[in-house]
Amino acid sequence: MEKLIIIKYGEMTTKKDNIGLFLKKLKENVEVALKEENITINYDSGRMFIYCHNHNFDSVLSRLQKVFGIHEIIIGYELPSNDFSLIQDSLQELIQNVNFKTFKIETKRSNKKYSLTSPEISKILGGTVLKNKEGVSVDVHHPELIIHTEIRLEKAYLYFETYKGCGGYPVGTLGKGLLMLSGGIDSPVAGYLAMKRGVKIEAVYFESPPHTSNQAKNKVESLAKILATYNQNVKLHIVKFTEIQEAIYKNIPHEYLITIMRRMMYRICAIIAGKSNCKIIVNGESIGQVASQTLTSMGAINRVVNIPVIRPLACFDKLEIIEIAKKIETFETSILPYEDCCTIFVPDHPVINPEISKCEEYEKLIPYEDLIYQAIHTKEVKLIIPENKEYEEIL
Ligand code: ATP
Ligand code: MG
């Protein structure tokens, strides 16, 4: 028998006709995540099997826990045939090295032509355990150990070590989205949730040097690096926003600063998204969090673009967002105290019900089309790679 890792798929099992595409992508993503491991992968529509040639199960497991599309990760044993006496013998051998007092057997039989039914298999194997392990008993409600057996077409599997995967769809199966990535708590979480739905992300960061520092930019790059673990890499567009912000600050009534500034950001994002084949913009807006996130503000800001804007956190409260940020380990970086371009030039009383006619009237006071053109043409692009200190300049 061979020790191996078995993957149970997530929500994509509901895809009837397209499942092949989802599985192919998942395999590609698993291969990228495990490229430093010595492994071989086999898969079919029910399971993916990973043979770890160096017995590096722990590191393979922790890398797989960051691959979307995986519901459960199992460390188990593959038997060369599904012969029942072989299953009994193997189980007898395996339980000798495991400590438990109570157990139950769960059987899954995808080979429906097998000579025994699932309840029959569970019953006989239960007897095998009772006979060969001293001091144990069956407890079907709260067992210390669940012994799983799976009878497949040609082989059988035994396992009792299972770990939760991160669920969702494999990244890339649903196309690309452009994440507005600030250094805050919310936007990395929004990016994580979009990736979880199978969206591969590129990111855009607006900086305003000298009003924002290099440290603020480094912080965003660090966040992109954490997100890159789930996304293979993150292409980060860094847009200089200084001139636009200064023009707004000098020419436009201050209560409309933020509204107009965000309309400019959206316009720039829509252009970058179009050029990068991103089908949506993703951001960390959450209803009511700040003046620019009232329903009226969101309407006035959203109006300047046609591309869908997805706000994964729209209905989350801050504590829920922080919980995810801690889980994905972006929180500690996000709370570093460097300023964002949204937090400089903040008016005392930002409008919470902006009028579209006023936005349009005020925007005529600045040559925003030229400024946007300039910002797009001077942007910097970096490919951020996970767990690698070297950034590769690609533009
Ligand atoms: P976060 O904690 O993610 O910064 P926030 O609560 O500070 O969010 P805002 O500053 O109003 O909220 O920004 C709302 C969203 O706009 C952010 O979540 C992010 O998606 C986007 N955004 C804000 N500032 C920037 C920036 N400098 N570059 C790119 N996107 C930004
Ligand atoms: Mg912010």
Q: pLDDT per position in the chain (395 positions), as tens?
A: 999 999 999 888 888 888 999 999 999 999 999 999 999 999 998 999 999 999 999 999 999 999 999 999 999 999 999 999 999 999 999 999 999 999 999 999 988 889 999 999 999 999 999 999 999 999 999 999 999 999 999 999 999 999 999 999 999 999 999 999 999 999 999 999 999 999 999 999 999 999 999 999 999 999 999 999 999 999 999 999 999 999 999 999 999 999 999 999 999 999 999 999 999 999 999 999 888 899 999 999 999 999 999 999 999 999 999 999 999 999 999 999 877 776 777 888 999 999 999 999 999 999 999 999 999 999 999 999 987 434 444 44
β-pair partners for 185: none
Predicted pLDDT at 291:
82
Q: How far is CA 168 from CA 16, 33, 66, 245, 386, in A?
A: 16, 16, 11, 38, 20
- CA 335 to ligand 2 center in whole angstroms: 11
Ligand sitting nearest the alpha carbon of 212: 1
Q: How far is CA 250 from the centre of its chain?
A: 40
What single letter denotes the amino acid at residue 384? I
Count of other CB atoms within 10 angstroms of residue 97 = 6
pLDDT digits (tens, 9 = 90+) for 328-343: 999 999 999 877 776 7
- CA 139 to ligand 1 center in whole angstroms: 52
Predicted pLDDT at 15:
85
Cβ atoms of residues 174 and 199 within 8 Å: yes
* Ligand 1 atom 17: residue of nearest CA: 284
Predicted pLDDT at 342:
67
Predicted pLDDT at 389:
36
Q: Closest by alpha carbon to 25, among 188, 192, 195?
A: 195
- CA 186 to ligand 1 center in whole angstroms: 7
The residues lining ligand 1, judged by C-beta closer than 6 Å to any ligand atom, are: 180-182, 184-187, 204-206, 283-285, 289-290, 292, 340-342
- CA 183 to ligand 2 center in whole angstroms: 7
Please tell me the pTM assigned to this model: 0.92
* Neighbour-count burial of 338, counting CB atoms closer than 10 A to its CB (0-12 exposed, 13-18 middle, 19+ buried): middle
Round to whole Å and give the CA distance between 340 and 226. Answer: 19
